[in-house]
Structure 1
Amino acid sequence: MLPIISQLNSKRIVLASSSPRRKELLKIIGLNVESCASTFEENLDPKDFNSFSEFVEETALQKVLEVTNRLDAEAEIDGKSKADIVIGADTMVALNGEMYGKPKNKEDAIETLNKLNGKTNVVFTGVAIKYGDHIEKFTESTEVQFGKLTTEQIQAYVDTGEPLDKAGSYGIQHIGSTLVERINGDFFTVIGLPVYRLSFTLHKLYKELK
């Protein structure tokens, strides 16, 4: 994507998320983005989809569409330019056919971490990109092997507060890294934005749609 960074940055790029982690990843790869938190309720039922990939992709898409519609309406009123590119993502953790999002509270986080303890979970991050009138969706998945944790370790981690806004009740990029023995796949997928696949897709879209 490096050869077209300046061309992309001449456009208005919006991240349909308030996640500082996702925004920081986009900045690291050189994209000038603005954040606009989606108000989509995220009430889709995973059971209504054929796969976890379809579920996270659809959730990401709905975030993108909500933000796009809101920004378009604002542009009509105040004369601002509409967003050229809107990026949305959704991350979930799966184990034994069950999907785990953000915990409701500390007790829920402890319960989830006990289930993940010593096992390999799979992190799915679905991404939706609205580039002009074109929409592209994809999912990346990464296996995360948890070490064998004691009750005290789990409680101490939950007491830090870090798990409470993380899918699967852990954040691999901070203290949660001490829980993880190894991964198989894209590290950035676990953080919440698969950087390589996103860069590849943006480059492809630019070449196809310019």
Structure 2
Amino acid sequence: MYQKAALILASASPRRAELLAQIGVSFQVVPANIDETPANGEQPNAYVKRMAMEKVAAVAKLYADRVVLAADTSVIVDGEIWGKPLNRQHAKVMLNGLSGRQHQVVTAIAVHYDGNVELAVSETEVLFAVLTDQQIDRYVATGEADDKAGAYGIQGAAGCFVERLNGSYFGVMGLPLYETAVLLGKTGMTVGPR
């Protein structure tokens, strides 16, 4: 059995850190430094799984005696992977592309422990309302879109753009809590209320 502080979070995402803390998990942050470029022709689900596996493997090499958790989230539009915007103009283009349309958010979670790796995937359908240019401009000006897949954070001001959601709200944030709790439970960690 692992102690609470035995977990390494292989991510620099403040949202993932907040969500882990929310479910009572103590952890140390050690971001993975890997190339996140999709391979030619790589399917979105395969890409997020590969990213989560590569992130967890990179950090587990350094902390073989610890539980390591990594995740990757992508916004998928018409079968195309949408990562983080390159700049604010690109963020506006992305948000225009999401306006009035349904898209998918896929998050893969990988946990490495005792030489084993467990993987889970969360898929969520998100429908955006029709957005005006003014709404997009105001949102992008907040800076909230800068480091988010698909150029939005559902937990922030962009939450009012979401007309309907089918799946995991937390998966859209970047760490589906149910799947995370199940994977961490397999390591013997206690997750949730104490």
Write the distance in 2 (CA, Å) between the matches of 1:95 and 1:156: 23
Return the offset for 1:68.
Answer: 1.9
Report the residue type matching 1:63 in the other structure.
Answer: K
Report the residue type matching 2:10 in the other structure.
Answer: A
Gaps of 5+ in 1: 1-6, 73-81
Gaps of 5+ in 2: 190-194
Q: CA RMSD in A?
A: 1.6
Aligned residue number for residue 138 of structure 2: 156
1:152-198 Cα shifts (integer Å, max 9, x gaps): 11111111111010000000001111211121111000000010011
Match of 1:33 among 27, 46, 56: 27
Whether the 8 Å contact between 2:154 and 2:173 is mirrored in structure 1 is yes
1:113-132 Cα shifts (integer Å, max 9, x gaps): 11100011100001111012
SS of the residue corresponding to residue 172 of structure 1 reads coil
Match of 2:106 among 118, 124, 128: 124
CA 1:11–1:171: 2 relative to 1, 3 Å: closer
Return the offset for 1:206.
Answer: 3.1
* Equivalenced residues, count: 189
Aligned residue number for residue 53 of structure 2: 61
- Kindly indicate which of the two structures has a greater share of residues assigned to helix: 1
Whether the 8 Å contact between 2:60 and 2:66 is mirrored in structure 1 is no
Write the distance in 2 (CA, Å) between the matches of 1:10 and 1:104: 37
SS of the residue corresponding to residue 181 of structure 1 reads strand
Give the TM-score normalised by the residue count of structure 2.
0.91
Give the TM-score normalised by the residue count of structure 1.
0.85
User: In terms of Rg, which structure is larger?
Assistant: 1
Write the distance in 2 (CA, Å) between the matches of 1:67 and 1:132: 14
